[in-house]
Chain A
Amino acid sequence: MDLFEATAQALVLLAVFDPALWEIIGISFRVSLTAICIAIPPALLAAFLLAHLEFPGRRVLISLFNTLLSLPAVVIGLTVYLMLSRQGPLGDWQLLFTRSAMVIAQIMLAFPILVSMSHAAFQAADQRAWETARTLGIPSPQAFVMVVGEVRFGLLAAVLAGFGRIIAEVGASMMVGGNILHFTRNIPTAIALETSMGNFAQGIALGIVLLIIAFALNLSLQYFQGRGKLSL
């Protein structure tokens, strides 16, 4: 089958709302959105503390997070697998091969990116914003929110990069999710499976979906950044 034919078939599957296809898309987004939502608050806080707090080992910690960026997803998958396996320390939770296991793995994948990029954003911001706010007697939580608002574009970029990594990630999802139909088969693991079975149209269809949705996401963020004005 040539590429053109496969792509055409893919668009048809999308357009007729092929239920099998859309179920997989749903699972992907459910898992990755849950993971990114859980990962954002602690990651922002960690990034903020790394940027504003002086403590011994701070630089080592920053380097550590930057190093974790290059950790392959399968290694995270393997780690989570060994933790959650019934023989593992958290085996009693019986979470292996569930969407929750995928959420946990994706949180671990997204966390270093979120911390590293948010830290850079906080670092680039004027350090005096926080100090001034505190001097004026504004309580820490409000001051934190202020600084976050100050660097929101940088943070948004961090969130997008993090989400981009986990929505497209195959190794960890395969390992801890098991690629179970109707339960843990998400877009990337489905692409891997369809490709191995020679169903290239299904694989390409899922790839296109991923692209379209990523594009829509980026476009809407552009919109918010332009405060209501859509400038193309």
Chain B
Amino acid sequence: MEIFIRRCAAVGVALAVLLAVHISAQQAHGGGKLVRLATTTSTDNSGLIDHLAPQFERDTGYSLQVIAVGTGKALQLGKRGDVDVILVHAPTSEARFVADGHGVHRHVVMENDFIVVGPRDDPAKLGGAKSAADAFARLVKGKSRAVKFVSRGDDSGTHKKEMTLWRDAGVEPAWSGRFEVGQGMGKSLQIAEELQAYLLIDRGTWIFLRDQTTLEVVFQGDPSLGNPYGVIAVSPKRAPVNFGGAKAFIDWLTSKRGQRAIGDYTVAGTRLFTPMAGH
């Protein structure tokens, strides 16, 4: 039995070596030319990243790996040093991220805006709202079950924005028609469609996905619905990140070429994001 166990140990060691080889083969693949970007579902689901990545890779020789998560999770990945650079849309959280020493070289690179979409018959009469605060107050006003609202509920940039808007409207978003679904932007739109509910959505994802829904834009254009996107390099002081690669991505994105690439991206003839580096 003892010899048996010893041989089994040998087999175990052999397997460990196999795994190690598998691992090292993979690492050789990446090296210093690999840049990891954590970004939001809105930039990825809208097709923008697929449009930018090949151009960035061609111009700089880096290869870009994209992890699409909510803004909260993206910042978390950055804090832990699991990605090299992040592209998100939550200015307050971004500023805190930099102030806490997790990131450097923050730039606002582009923006679009948020809109409120909802069922065609518009039961809460958002069409007549004079401001974003008014619109959000109207949603809560009757605390009616007939007025449904789908909230991302996932600490994403859109969710943070929604919470700010409730606060600015001076209302408590607590009624039986508000559903926190904890899903990405695209999935939330599908749920809103099925429930015939209102939804706060970024214009980029909306233009990209609007053909799949019967919902309509019911409120837009208020200055408080601006949605700036910031890019931040994860600080090399906290974790062994690919800082050179992150810097290259930021430099490219804020360069004329990068800015033009953002402005060039259209879906069905409509530009999704407005470049705004240097503003």
Contacts and interface: CB of A to CB of B under 8 A. Distances in A.
Interface in A35-76: 38, 41-42, 45
A103 interface: yes
B36 interface: yes
A87 interface: yes
Contacts, number: 79
Contact of A197 (B15, B82, B186, B240): B186
A100 B12 contact: no
Interface string B188-222: 01100000000000000000010010000000000
Interface residues of A, number: 33
A141 B67 contact: no
A178 B74 CA distance: 11
Interface stretch (B2-10, B135-143, B151-159, B255-263): B2-10
B23 A100 contact: yes
B183 interface: yes
Interface string A169-195: 000000000111101000000000101
A183 B65 contact: yes
A4 interface: no
A19 to B, nearest CB: 15
A94 B184 CA distance: 27
A25 interface: no
Interface residues on B, range: 35 or more
A85 B15 contact: no
A97 B82 contact: yes
B120 to A, nearest CB: 19
Contact of A198 (B15, B27, B212): B212
B8 A181 contact: no
Given A45-B8, A85-B82, A141-B7, 4 more contacts: A87-B80, A98-B27, A195-B187, A196-B187
Interface of B: 1, 3-4, 7-8, 11-12, 15, 18-19, 22-23, 26-27, 30, 36, 41, 45, 65-68, 80-82, 183-184, 186-187, 189-190, 209, 212, 239-241
Interface of A: 34, 38, 41-42, 45, 85-87, 91, 93-100, 103-104, 139-141, 144, 178-181, 183, 193, 195-198
